[in-house]
Structure 1
Amino acid sequence: MLVYPSRLLSPRCLAAWTSAHNVAIFLKARAFSMAKPHPHGYVPRWASGEPFDLPLPSKILCVAKNFASSKEELDSHRENSNESMDKAIIFSKSLTSLVSITQPIELQQREDVFYETELALLITEQLPQSPSGCPPKDCLAAVGGVAVALDLTLKDVQNASKAAGGSWETAKAFDRSCPISDWVKVAGLEENSEWKISTKI
Structure 2
Amino acid sequence: MKTARVKGEAKEYRIGKILCIGRNYADHIKELGNETPERPVIFMKPASSVIGEGEEIVIPPYSSDCHHEAELALLIGTGGSDIPPAEALGHLAGYGVAIDLTLRDVQAEQKKKGLPWEIAKGFDTACPLSDFVPAGAVADPQALTITLSVNGVKRQDGSTGLMIHRIPELISYLSSIFTLEPGDLVLTGTPAGVGPIKSGDSVVAEITQVGRLQVSVK
For 1:52, the equivalent position in structure 2 comes to: 11
Residue 66 in structure 1 maps to residue 24 in structure 2: yes
How far apart in 2 are the matches of 1:192 and 1:93? 23
SS of residue in 1 equivalent to 2:17: strand
Counterpart pick for 2:66 among 113, 116, 139? 113
How far apart in 2 are the matches of 1:192 and 1:148? 12
For 1:195, the equivalent position in structure 2 comes to: 144
1:74-85 equivalences in 2 (<5 Å): 76=34, 81=35, 85=37
Residue 94 in structure 1 maps to residue 46 in structure 2: yes
How far apart in 1 are the matches of 2:39 and 2:3? 33
Unmatched tracts of structure 1, length 5 or more: 1-37
User: What TM-score, normalized by structure 1, do the two folds share?
Assistant: 0.64
SS of residue in 2 equivalent to 1:122: strand
1:150-189 equivalences in 2 (<5 Å): 150-187=99-136
Aligned-pair CA distance for 1:196: 1.4
For 1:149, the equivalent position in structure 2 comes to: 98
How far apart in 2 are the matches of 1:114 and 1:107? 10
Aligned-pair CA distance for 1:67: 2.8
Aligned-pair CA distance for 1:123: 1.9
Aligned-pair CA distance for 1:173: 0.7
Residue identity opposite 1:45 in structure 2: R
Contact 1:116–1:151 (Cα < 8 Å) also in 2: yes
Deviations 1:104-142 (A, max 9, x none): 222235530011101011121244x4xxx4222211122
Percent of residue pairs bearing the same amino acid type = 34
SS of residue in 2 equivalent to 1:58: coil
More strand by share: 2
Contact 1:58–1:95 (Cα < 8 Å) also in 2: yes
For 1:122, the equivalent position in structure 2 comes to: 75
Aligned-pair CA distance for 1:85: 2.8
Unmatched tracts of structure 2, length 5 or more: 151-218
Residue identity opposite 1:101 in structure 2: E
1:11-26 equivalences in 2 (<5 Å): none
For 1:17, the equivalent position in structure 2 comes to: none
Deviations 1:38-76 (A, max 9, x none): 1xxx3422334x32343x012212111023244236764
How far apart in 2 are the matches of 1:146 and 1:152? 19
The number of residues matched between the two structures is 149
1:3-14 equivalences in 2 (<5 Å): none
Structure number with larger C-alpha Rg:
1
SS of residue in 1 equivalent to 2:145: coil
Most deviating of 171-180 and 185-194? 185-194
Contact 1:140–1:189 (Cα < 8 Å) also in 2: no
Contact 1:75–1:85 (Cα < 8 Å) also in 2: no
User: What TM-score, normalized by structure 2, do the two folds share?
Assistant: 0.60
Residue identity opposite 1:125 in structure 2: T
Aligned-pair CA distance for 1:161: 0.8
